Amino acid sequence: MKRVALLLTLFCVGLLAASFAFADDGGKGKNHSETGTTSTTSSGKKCKNVSLKGTTAATSFTVTVEKSSKAGRDLKGKPVTLTFSGKVGISARVCSAATTAATPAAATFELRNLKVAKSDEGDD
């Protein structure tokens, strides 16, 4: 019985050691870049993720379609103008360059996600 308890204890200690060996620290302290827009800690930029919620007036933007679902396959390669208004939720990354006392840095926003609430108007 003592041997079984000893073997079970050693097995549990082995599992615990393996979990620490495979654990990731989340990239903290590493100077690496992300896919897509790259930014490193040595570039002097300070970036933070922000979530914004608010209301917008009628706004539009144009997108050139590279991929689409089956219903939009005729739009591939063509510019499409999207118009929306109302309540929006925005996930963005705000970055500011290194600042000095004489020159404050302007912040730049990189859009990550845009959600628009349903329109009160109904679908036509």
DSSP 88-117: EEEEEEEEE----SSSPPPEEEEEEEEEEP
On the 0-12 / 13-18 / 19+ scale of CB atoms within 10 A, 116 is: middle
Looking at per-residue pLDDT, the higher value among 62 and 98 belongs to: 62
Lowest mean pLDDT segment, chosen from 13-17, 45-49, 80-84, 114-118: 13-17
Q: Is a pLDDT exceeding 70 seen at residue 4?
A: yes
Is the CB of residue 118 less than 8 Å from the CB of residue 87? Answer: no
- What is the predicted pLDDT for the residue at 69? 92
* Ranges 15-24, 26-35, 40-49, most confident: 40-49
Model's pTM, two decimal places? 0.48
Phi, psi angle pair for 94, to nearest 5°: -105, 130
